[in-house]
Amino acid sequence: MTTRHLLRLSTPAAHFHDGFPLGNGRLGAMAYGRPEVERFDLNLDTFWSGGPQPPPEGPSPAGLLPELRAAIAAGDFERADELGRRMQSGGWTQAYQPLGFIEWRHTAAGEPSGYRRELDLARAVTTVNGLLTSFVSAPAGVLVASARGPLELPEFTSPHPVEVIRDGEWLTITGRAPANVLPDYINREPAVVYGADAPDRDGTVAAGMGFAVVIAVQGTGSGEVRMVAAAADGFRGHAVRPSADTAELARRARAQVEAALSRSTAELLAEHEADYRGYFDRVDLSLPDERAELYYHFGRYLLISSSRPGTQPANLQGIWNADVRPGWSSNYTTNINVQMNYWPAEPAGLPDLHQPLFELIGGLLDTGQDAARHYYGAAGSTTHHNTDLWRFSAPVNGEPQWANWSSGLLWLTAHLWDHLEYGGAPELLLPALRSVTSFALALLVPDAQGKLVMSPSTSPEHHFLTEAGNPAAISAGAAMDQELVREVLTRYCSLADDELAVRAGKALSQLRPVAIDGELLEWYDRRPSQEPGHRHLSHLYGLYPGTRITESGTPDDFEAVRQALATRLQHGSGHTGWSQAWILCLAARLRDPELAERSIAILLDELGSVSLLDLHPHGGRPSGYIFQIDGNFGAVAGMTELLVQSHEGAVSLLKTLPGSWDTGSVRGIRCRGGYTASVAWSAGMLTSAAITAGSDGRLVVEVPGDTPPLTVTCGERAVPAREVSGALAGRRRMAWDATALTRYTLLPERSL
């Protein structure tokens, strides 16, 4: 059973991915909702294995590039893959780590007879049987659990070697992270290594940071018993040796707990709610489909809970993980996943939560310079298909279809551009574009027709079949790479007027376009796919999240994307949560409400846990799935796009309205140009809208063609709006001169 903003379940969590995630961007706690002894799995956003990565050493693999490119040009793709493997680093990213697990008896045995657990998305609070209330406060930096049960210290276990000190109503746990953890897909021992090195005089180590968890219980005298927990770790910066001074870390954590205990639970809760609602209340959505509405709010809740200014970005599991070797190391996978995490940040009213991703980009620009120079002999910066807390940028050891993709920073830079288009002022944008433009130019070579293609190039995690029927990954000019190169060169030229911009402009004039043969091709000629239903939809980047391909501007490419997506779907694509969420986003751009509805249903019914967390198939887990947060975020972005789009020169309302969403409203959606839009509809027809302008200038709004004539007002004043050209088929546009920070109301004439 669900109600508005309230997720209510009748059983405790059977698996980690069935729990209710609590978080403040830094401290994460997965609450299982157990009726007598609650369990919280604790994490910190900066608690990872390993340490700073030294610059690459030894002979530069860049010397292999001429031979690799010659093999590609000759069509010897098996040889190209072999050479690509020789260009890899031999290493992997480190793994996001759990701190440990709290078990706290909060209720007398046998009480009550019924059971329910709830997560209130409007308050970021969980309850169990109405007796236990839990939240993680950003202002206080602590986990708070309040009940009316026995005054007992909790039990704490950790997967790491720890020292536990019990002192009255206080529990202090200290330990260290592993110095090295291999990814869960690497079958090699030892997979987990703890460092034996003692801290230096300054308390630091090369790898294996320290951590401390401090927990206290307190009776308030009014029958309430509460538990307060805080944690600290030794992270000091991605290029700085971490601290293993656990005594100092324990002092930091204890100070947070002591400060919280000096205040009432009601005060802490009120402060927490006010902070959280400052983000959550910016946007609201009301739908007749109660589960879809709740799913949308849950996605925004997750971003607020896992990504705050000053924290690390949300990783594959946000900030929640219970395993020393989590799926894919719970790292930042840069060939779709970490980008999807932030797709909703701008439109769904959370632009300030984009900041941790920008900090990640800044770190990768630093480490990526070494990677570009060492592996490609190139200027600028690059990162490959995944990274970690330490901003690992090299190609990992593995199969070329994922390890040798070098366009991670090109894609990440698009988020800085989005922030600019939505009204932000990212200081990093021009330096980032300069760096990735320099790298992209170094990887462009002429093909047999003299057109420039990126070489080497892969389509993330996918193989084509050679003429001999063998799978191969490395070629030249894969569609996604060509789209990304075109995007960054175009954007750099729009902002800069220097020698690099001249070179970029010349390269743009010679860049090979993506290929079309009935559909948009994944590689620059028609080659058989090893998996026609592959989960990645990389070649469709230009439609979404990119903006080059539009229905009005590039109709041939637009229809080619539609056919390419149909081919993927015919062969079963969309079997992971994030892949299905990407399909939803593409459906929104394609104006395909039936496909969008089907995607939402699959996300909810097949690829979501009972607590609505996104699932990814994983044969190594008892349930057959692991939690992976990207699909939750991608779904929010896609559902927003169904109602409001802004990438075709207008604020476009109700462009892809699903049939089952016949009545509803949405408030506070942010649009390119700095606008904010709200819209309501009934029986599938627009009934009202409001647009707040972010700056002075011409405001263009597009609405369904069957909308009655609209009257625009600003307060009591009528605004002269006029019909303008450029609308898509079945729609119409109107425009007027807008004033910054002014709200304009649009009403059908019959409703006046």
Q: How far is 396 from 332, CA to CA, in rounded Å?
A: 13
Residue (of 316, 358, 49) closest to 178 by Cα position = 49
Cα separations in angstroms, 446 against 45, 294, 442, 454, 511? 44, 51, 12, 9, 9
**Domains annotated on the chain, with CATH:** 2-49+97-284 (2.70.98.50), 52-93+346-532 (1.50.10.10), 651-751 (2.60.40.1180)
pLDDT of 478 strictly over 80? yes
* pLDDT tens by residue, 329-339: 999 999 999 99
For the record, the structure tokens of 79 come out as 């040889």
pLDDT of 112 strictly over 60? no
Span 277-298, average pLDDT: 98
Average pLDDT, the chain: 96
Looking at residue 455, the DSSP 8-state letter turns out to be: S
pLDDT of 168 strictly over 80? yes
- CA angle in degrees (0–180, nearest 5) for 360-17-588: 65
Banded model confidence at residue 1, pLDDT cuts 50, 70, 90? very low
* pLDDT tens by residue, 199-227: 998 999 999 999 999 999 999 888 899 99
Residue (of 409, 533, 535, 521) closest to 475 by Cα position = 521
Span 55-63, average pLDDT: 91
pLDDT of 514 strictly over 50? yes
For the record, the structure tokens of 563 come out as 């056919």
Which one has a higher pLDDT value, 90 or 397? Answer: 397
pLDDT of 84 strictly over 50? yes
For the record, the structure tokens of 536 come out as 């990645």
Please tell me the predicted confidence (pLDDT) of residue 110: 56
Span 596-605, average pLDDT: 98
Banded model confidence at residue 101, pLDDT cuts 50, 70, 90? very high
Span 143-166, average pLDDT: 96
Q: Which residues pair with 692 in a beta bridge?
A: 676, 743
Looking at residue 648, the DSSP 8-state letter turns out to be: S
pLDDT of 54 strictly over 60? yes
Q: Which helix (H) or strand (E) holds 584?
A: helix 577-590
Predicted structure pTM score: 0.97
Q: How many CB atoms lie within 10 A of CB 251?
A: 14
Asked whether 173 and 100 are in contact (CB, 8 A), the reply is yes
Q: What is the 3-state secondary structure (H, E, C) of 353-414?
A: HHHHHHHHHHHHHHHHHHHHHHHHCCCCCCCCCEECCCCCCCCCCCCHHHHCCCCHHHHHHH
Span 364-392, average pLDDT: 98
Q: Which helix (H) or strand (E) holds 681?
A: strand 675-682
Banded model confidence at residue 150, pLDDT cuts 50, 70, 90? confident
pLDDT of 4 strictly over 80? yes
pLDDT of 2 strictly over 60? no
Span 128-146, average pLDDT: 97
Please tell me the predicted confidence (pLDDT) of residue 109: 58
Span 441-466, average pLDDT: 98
* pLDDT tens by residue, 601-650: 999 999 999 999 999 988 777 778 899 999 999 999 999 999 999 999 99
